[in-house]
A and B are shown apart, each in its own frame.
Chain A
Amino acid sequence: MDNSAVVHLIDDDEAVRQALAFLLTTAGHAVRVHDSAESFLQIAHAAQPGCIVSDVRMPGLDGIGLLRKLKEIGITLPVVIMTGHADVPLAVEAMKAGAVDFIEKPFDDEVLLSAIRLALSRHGETGQRDAEQARIRARIDALSERERQVLDGLVAGHPNKTIAYDLALSPRTVEVHRANVMIKMGASSLSDLVRMALTAKLQHQ
């Protein structure tokens, strides 16, 4: 890992900012904190290399807006999005807008640290990300046809009932497939699952 890499932390909540900066410092990261997406954008061109960890819900420009703005002005720092209330449409939007990862608050320190490792490795070399994508693809390949259809429905943000209707299954059967998908994919949450599915798909395209 590049030791000069800096984690640019953006969150409007002061307590969260301080706590995360403290955690990342104890884990050996150099951290710069910013209280809004706008204040980061002001220094973005001069920002030290590394990655961005940003909250999604902020007054003014939100996390998704930040991703779009960065793309627009040609800043390629990888971005990890944090969200306090993960819903699938938001996750899909974040990943499509170019987030490397998105994690749901509150999170275990390892979840954040591995997301940052992934982001920094993407910035440095794409090897680790490729390995991760290969792992996910292998897991998706191990799903049954039905399970893959259920996964597609989940990633599209549909509730169980809708998926059941579309596939002409009972909601109960969808629940069982959904549970199997979670286990086979090794996903810890629905957002984790969506992240994996999108990571694999992005590589695919």
Chain B
Amino acid sequence: MSPSSSNDDARSRLAAIVESSDDAIVGKTLDGVVTDWNRGAESLFGYRADEIIGQPITLIVPPDRRAEHVDILERIRNGERIDHFVTQRNRKDGSIIDVSVTISPIYDADGRLRGASKVARDLTERQEAQQRMQELQAELIHVSRFTALGEMASTLAHELNQPLTAIASYLKGAGRLLDAGEPSGIGMARDAIERAAQQALRAGQIIRRLREFVSRGEGERQAENLAKLIEEACALALVGARQSGVQVSMAFESTSTHVLADKIQIQQVLLNLVRNAIEAMQEVDRRDLALSTRRVDSDTVRIDVADSGPGISPEIAGQLFQPFITTKQAGMGVGLSICRTIVEAHGGRIWVDPNPGGGVIFHVTLKTIDIGELVHG
């Protein structure tokens, strides 16, 4: 076998490899004229080889990427190689695709720079998968919010029925007084109607808090006053807590600390922690729930949710934030894993420690934000 024929063999093997690659592999001159176009390029960009060979490569470069393209050609002429550069390209049908490209100079046998090879990989699919993943996660966060509410449904029903009972009773009583037709009864009836109206507003507030919580937050992060955020979450989470004999205390180191947060999501975390604490304390006589905040360094604040419940065994504590681990009979075991997802997405941490006085303390850290920074920066 002559050396030249073995060269031919190697060349045709290479050609076959290039041709069968799923990645688009394109050769072009230093002026940007297409010289080679494999099957991967045909399927990625939609042009057949015979349509585009001899044409300028700019056919697949979107107008707003032309400058970038010129720059790339310039770097190739200087012998540079460009690795995994993420950009966009046009398909024949006009659609835009996200691609990662690697461009290398091509030299001839004499070592002269003759052109460039470009390998392009479709990122659209991968990005779609990533986006879908994020959507699923948002969905799960939303669903778990409903689950938290489902578990609270009985308490909420009780809480709403109290003002409704008062309203019905005031109005029925007022009706009786007016039917009796005694002049002295009119003032009392008027007073009862006013009280009924106040109770209607009380019911409305409960519903409003609920609606805000259930509405799907679209991942909007804003500077939120931490103390206010906690108080609002507790207003909902502590519904019925007094009936369960829970003593609640709150201590904020500062009421002016702000955090950059998706309010609904962080409130969901707090709601979960507070409801868990209340539930845990049903088994014990002393039911103390303490919420506090403390600045731990220049840009981190820690929220502590401490209960006086029976505590958590060390085996469970280690895997507490894993999905589907639960100590509850009817629990799904997703609450705390969702909490961790949310907190970590906010650049914070969540963990649990034994409470020295019995029970546990859940800690959540969040990044603080200087309000002045927002206004001037």
- Distance (Å) between the CB of A21 and the closest chain B CB? 9
Contact string against A for B residues 148-161, beta-carbon threshold 8 Å, 1 for contact and 0 otherwise: 00000010011101
Q: Which residue of A16, A23, A60, A84 is within 8 Å of B173 (Cβ)?
A: A23
The residue in chain A whose Cβ has the minimal distance to the Cβ of B159 is A84
Is residue A15 contacting chain B, with contact meaning CB distance below 8 A?
A: yes
Is residue A165 contacting chain B, with contact meaning CB distance below 8 A?
A: no
The B157-207 residues at the A interface (CB cut-off 8 A) are: 157-159, 161-170, 172-174, 176-177, 180, 188, 192, 195-196, 198-199, 202
| CB–CB A109/B173 < 8 A | yes
- Distance (Å) between the CB of B78 and the closest chain A CB? 75
The residue in chain A whose Cβ has the minimal distance to the Cβ of B179 is A26
Q: Which one of A91-99, A100-108, A147-155, A182-190 is at the interface?
A: A100-108
User: CB-CB < 8 A to A59: which residues of B?
Assistant: 242-245
Is residue A203 contacting chain B, with contact meaning CB distance below 8 A?
A: no
User: CB-CB < 8 A to A41: which residues of B?
Assistant: none
State A87–B158 Cα separation when bound (angstroms). Answer: 12
| CB–CB B243/A58 < 8 A | yes
| CB–CB B164/A27 < 8 A | no
The residue in chain A whose Cβ has the minimal distance to the Cβ of B164 is A106
| CB–CB B245/A107 < 8 A | no
Is residue A25 contacting chain B, with contact meaning CB distance below 8 A?
A: yes
User: CB-CB < 8 A to B245: which residues of A?
Assistant: 59-60
User: CB-CB < 8 A to A12: which residues of B?
Assistant: 242-243
User: CB-CB < 8 A to A25: which residues of B?
Assistant: 173
| CB–CB A23/B169 < 8 A | yes
DSSP class of B's interface residues: helix, strand, loop or mixed?
Answer: helix
| CB–CB B161/A19 < 8 A | no
Interface residues contributed by chain A, number (CB under 8 Å): 26
State A69–B235 Cα separation when bound (angstroms). Answer: 33
State A22–B192 Cα separation when bound (angstroms). Answer: 8
User: CB-CB < 8 A to B242: which residues of A?
Assistant: 12, 59
User: CB-CB < 8 A to A109: which residues of B?
Assistant: 168-169, 172-173, 176
Is residue A57 contacting chain B, with contact meaning CB distance below 8 A?
A: yes
Please judge, given known A-B contacts A26-B176, A85-B154, A109-B173, whether A20 and B165 are in contact too, CB under 8 Å.
yes
Please judge, given known A-B contacts A23-B172, A25-B173, A109-B173, whether A15 and B163 are in contact too, CB under 8 Å.
yes
Q: Which 7 pairs show the lowest CB-CB distances between chains A and B? A: A84-B158, A19-B166, A109-B172, A84-B161, A106-B164, A19-B169, A23-B173
* 10 pairs, A vs B, C-beta closer than 8 Å: A16-B162, A19-B196, A26-B176, A27-B176, A84-B157, A84-B162, A87-B154, A105-B162, A107-B165, A112-B169
Please report B residues at the A interface, Cβ cutoff 8 Å. Answer: 154, 157-159, 161-170, 172-174, 176-177, 180, 188, 192, 195-196, 198-199, 202, 242-245
A27-B173, A109-B169 are known; give 15 further A-B pairs, CB within 8 A. Answer: A19-B192, A19-B195, A19-B199, A22-B170, A22-B192, A23-B170, A23-B172, A23-B176, A59-B245, A82-B165, A84-B161, A105-B164, A105-B165, A108-B168, A109-B172
